[in-house]
Amino acid sequence: MLRLILLTLLSPPLLAQDRIGTLQLRVSTDRPDWRYAPGQPVRFRIVAIQDGHPVAGLKVTYRIGPEMLPPKVDQTVDLPAEGLTVDGGTLAEPGFLRCIATVEKNGKTYRALSTAAFTPERIQPTQPDPADFDQFWAAGKAALAKLPIDAKLTPLPEYGNAAADCYHVSLQNVGPGAAPSRFYGVLCEPKAPGKYPALLSVPGAGVRPYRGLAEMAARGVITFQVGIHGIPVTMDQSVYDSLAAGALNGYNTFGLDNRDRYYYRRVYLGCVRSNDFLTSRPNWNRTDLAVTGGSQGGALSIVTAALDPRVRGLAAYYPALADVTGYLHNRAGGWPHMFRAAEGPLAHRSPDKIATTAYYDVVNFARRVKVPGLYSWGFNDETCPPTSMYAAYNVIPGQKNLLLALETGHNNIPEQVAEVQSWLQRFLKVAPAQN
């Protein structure tokens, strides 16, 4: 007993331990495939977890309605430790119904969402297909063809590797006016002699530098990763930050009131010019040419495949610029959401701007894609709503395959990227990367 008392007296006092952890708020549908028929009810389950266990004593605000539109339900209630199941209602026609939940803890707001699909394979575009769509783009390509490629290559030894050489490339392109402009990117080619397939990599939205795809080039693919803004793509990051905040802020609606001056005319034709360059490379195998990208790059992949018959296939993540007129028909439209606001400084709902989008909307290029393609997105995307992407996907006449990562938003997961890369490698007949 004396020994126990001594040990107790000599032992250091127990100190209070602070504890911190990330709260995980989760929202899920009552069906594991997230799919419903029009008229069938949805029930959403909301739960908060920290350190692997439910959290009690929180209030949750949940809003439910068609994606990207004002909610039909807006409630704040107690969130029990065991979670909360709420009635989500239904949709009477094909589309997506979304539940967004938020809680606050220790001064921080946590947010989660889940999106129920109602026969999305039946969603059709709201965007009309102009009778002179093909003539408009044929004229654009004819104007481009009159300009020499005038490729200027600058070696980038620090961008390459033991098996691939890289170059900064400047090409002549159509301009926003009568004078030509330039189109820039990073070319990466296998060092070993031979004939190789080619891959055009087109960018997501924003203003940034690029380093090329040297690792893929090392595996036997000629790659060309391009920017769209008519500026070199190897400058210091601060230059792009300044442009994004200044001269190029809001570029996606520049010239929207005139189809001949809209910003993306030069961009779409610049992608064709990039293929002019790729297919002129002496080590191209004269057969295999694919295009890939995500978001704005997903849109440009579809556009390029539709405009350029040399493209044999494409892989597109969550394509933007699809069915942008959805908001004019009381449903979600695609990025950049130029018609989401009916009034105010961001409103673009004028007849001339609406008419211009018909010549640039991805759904009208999707109608003309005849080559095989892999498309991938998730149901929780709030930048490129799934309604808009299905509107394009459903009208593609060519061979198509849809890879869904249901829970993802405007992002991808490693498993999804690996599958898309494997598809591209098989399509281009390239050996997979060695781990």
Catalytic residue among 181, 288, 381, 388: 381
**Residue 302 forms beta bridges with which residues?**
none
Question: Percent helix, strand and coil across the chain, each rounded to 5?
Answer: 25, 30, 45
β-bridge pairing 222-226 and 373-377? unpaired
Give CA separation, 114 vs 35, 375, 379, 402, in Å.
Answer: 12, 21, 8, 20
Instruction: Tell me whether residue 28 is one of the annotated catalytic residues.
Output: no
Rounded-to-integer distance, Cα 424 and Cα 292, Å: 9
Burial of 22 (0-12, 13-18, 19+ CB in 10 A): exposed
Contacts of residue 167, defined as CB under 8 A and 6 or more positions apart, other chains included, come to 153, 154, 155, 156, 186, 187, 188, 189
Smallest CA-to-CA distance from 332 within 406, 384, 409 is with 384
Instruction: Tell me whether residue 129 is one of the annotated catalytic residues.
Output: no
- C-beta separation of 147 from 125 below 8 A: no
Rounded-to-integer distance, Cα 175 and Cα 118, Å: 43
- C-beta separation of 262 from 360 below 8 A: yes
Put residue 89 in one of left, alpha, beta given phi > 0 → left and psi -120 to 50 → alpha.
left
β-bridge pairing 84-89 and 42-50? antiparallel
Q: Following CA atoms 340, 344, 345, 348 in sequence, which dihedral angle do they give, to the nearest 10 degrees?
A: 40
Catalytic residue among 295, 301, 376, 388: 295
Q: Which residues are marked as active site?
A: 295, 381, 410
